[in-house]
Chain A
Amino acid sequence: MTLVSVIFCTFSATAAEPRARAALPTGPVDAGRVLSARDPVGCAQLGNADAALRDQLVPLTDPNLMPPWLPMRAAECLIELYPHDPVTTTLAAGWLTDPGTLGLALTVARKIDTFAAADAVKLAGSVMALPEGADKERLRARFAQSASPDVQAVVSPVAGAN
Chain B
Amino acid sequence: MGDDMRSDHVASVRATGWLLGIGLTSACVGVSGGKPPDDSGSVTTSVEGGIVVTNVSGTSNRQGYLKVPVHIDEPQSVVQVVGQRSGWTSIDYITDSRGNSVFNWEDWSYSDESLTDCYYMSKNTTTINWPVREVDAWMEPGDYEVWVAALTSEGRYSADIEMRATVLVRPDANLTRGTLSALIAYANGVADDPEVVAATEEAAAHWAEIYASIGITLDVEYGSVDIDAELPSSSVGDPAYEALGESMGDRKVILVVGETITGDSWLYGEAGGIPGPFAPANTGIVAVGWLANAGADGRFSDQDLLLYGETMAHEMGHYLGLYHPVEDGFEYFDALSDTQRCTSYSSCESALGSNLMFPYPVCAGRTCTRQEDVTAEQSGVAHRYVGVL
Interface size for chain A: under 10, 10 to 19, 20 to 34, or 35 or more residues?
A: 35 or more
Is A97 engaged at the interface, CB distance under 8 Å to the other chain?
no
Instruction: Tell me whether A68 is interfacial, beta carbon within 8 Å.
Output: yes
Residue of A nearest to B356 (CB): A38
Question: Bound complex: CA of A64 vs CA of B154, how far in Å?
Answer: 45
Residue A52 is within 8 A (CB to CB) of chain B in the complex: no
> Contact at B360–A5, with CB atoms within 8 Å?
no
B296 and A8 contacting across the interface, CB-CB below 8 Å: no
Binds B, one of A10-18, A82-90, A117-125, A152-160: A10-18
- Give which listed residue, A5, A6, A14, A34, contacts B15 with CB less than 8 A: A14
A102 touches which of B90, B155, B297, B368 (Cβ 8 Å): B297
Evaluate contact between A37 and B265: CB separation under 8 angstroms: no
Q: Is A75 an interface residue (CB 8 A)?
A: yes
Report whether B11 and A15 are in contact in the complex, using a CB–CB cutoff of 8 Å.
Answer: yes
Contact across chains for B331 and A5 when beta carbons are under 8 A apart: yes
Bound complex: CA of A67 vs CA of B369, how far in Å?
10
Contact residue among B114, B307, B366, B368 (Cβ-Cβ distance under 8 Å from A64):
B366
Chain B nearest CB: distance from A46 CB in Å? Answer: 12
Question: How far in angstroms is the closest Cβ of chain A from B279?
Answer: 22
**Closest residue to B314 on the A side, CB-wise?**
A38
Q: Given the complex of chains A and B, what is the CA–CA distance between A12 and B267 in angstroms?
A: 30
A72 and B295 contact, Cβ closer than 8 Å, known pairs A17-B155, A38-B359: yes
Q: Decide yes or no whether B174 CB sits under 8 A from chain A.
A: no
Q: A3-B329, A8-B332 are in contact. Are A66 and B366 (CB under 8 A)?
A: yes
Q: Which of B290-318 contact A (CB under 8 A)?
A: 291-299, 301, 303-304, 307, 311, 314-315
Query: What chain B residues lie within 8 Å of A133 (beta carbons)?
Result: none
- Which residues in B have their C-beta under 8 angstroms from that of A146? none
Taken together as a complex, chains A and B put the C-alpha atoms of A1 and B348 apart, in Å, by 14
Are B360 and A106 closer than 8 Å at their CB atoms? no
Residues of chain B with a CB closer than 8 A to A75's CB: 265, 296
Partner of B267 from A26, A40, A68, A105 at Cβ < 8 Å: A40
Tell me which residues from 318 to 369 in chain B have a Cβ below 8 Å from any Cβ of chain A.
Answer: 324, 327-332, 344-345, 358-361, 363, 365-368
- In the complex, which of the residues B296, B297, B298 has the most CB atoms of chain A within 10 Å of its own CB atom? B296
A103–B265 CB distance below 8 A: yes
- A100 CA to B114 CA, complexed, in Å: 41
Which residue of chain B has the shortest Cβ distance to A36 in the bound complex?
B360
**B110–A37 contact, CB under 8 A?**
no
> Which of B18, B110, B296 is within 8 Å of A68, CB to CB?
B296
Inter-subunit contact A107/B155 (CB<8 Å):
no
Residues on B with beta carbons closer than 8 Å to the beta carbon of A37: 328, 359-360
Q: Which of A17, A34, A62, A67 has the most CB of B within 10 A?
A: A67
A7: contacting residue among B15, B292, B327, B358, CB under 8 A = B327
Q: Which residue of chain A lies nearest to B294 when distances are taken between CB atoms in the complex?
A: A103
Contact A72 B265 (CB under 8 A): yes
**How near does chain B come to A127, taking the closest CB pair, in angstroms?**
14
Given contacts A4-B328, A66-B365, contact A19 B155 (CB under 8 A): yes
**Chain B residue contacts of A3, Cβ below 8 A:** 328-330
Chain B residues with CB under 8 Å of A64's CB are 296, 365-366
CA distance A37 to B292 in the complex (A): 12
Cβ-defined contact, A66 with B363, below 8 A = yes
Among B110, B121, B266, B269, which residue has its beta carbon within 8 angstroms of that of A76? B266
Residues in A with CB closer than 8 Å to B88 are 18
- A13 near B18 with CB under 8 A, answer yes
- Is the beta-carbon distance between A10 and B297 smaller than 8 angstroms? no
A63 in contact with B296 (CB, 8 Å): yes
Provide the bound-state CA to CA distance between A12 and B327, in Å.
21
Do B298 and A106 touch (CB < 8 A)? yes
**The residue from A4, A73, A101, A102 contacting B266, defined by CB atoms under 8 A apart:** A73
Indicate the member of B12, B15, B301 with the most A CB atoms within 10 Å.
B15
Q: Is the CB of B296 within 8 A of A71?
A: yes
Q: A4-B329, A7-B331 are in contact. Are A19 and B363 (CB under 8 A)?
A: no
Selected contact of B292 from candidates A8, A34, A61, A72, CB within 8 Å: A72
Task: Let me know if B135 is at the binding interface, CB within 8 A.
Answer: no
The chain B residue with its CB closest to the CB of A145 is: B230
Question: For B109, what are the chain A residues with a Cβ–Cβ distance below 8 Å?
Answer: 10-13, 19
Q: Which residue of A lies closest to B157 (CB)?
A: A13
Write the A99-136 contact mask toward B (1 if CB under 8 angstroms, else 0): 01111111100100000000000000000000000010
CB-defined A-B contacts under 8 Å, sample of 18: A4-B329, A13-B15, A15-B155, A16-B15, A16-B155, A18-B151, A18-B153, A18-B155, A19-B90, A19-B109, A66-B365, A66-B367, A68-B295, A68-B303, A69-B292, A72-B266, A76-B265, A103-B296
Chain B residues with CB under 8 Å of chain A are: 11-12, 15, 18-19, 88, 90, 92, 105, 108-111, 114, 119-121, 151, 153-156, 260, 263-270, 291-299, 301, 303-304, 307, 311, 314-315, 324, 327-332, 344-345, 358-361, 363, 365-368
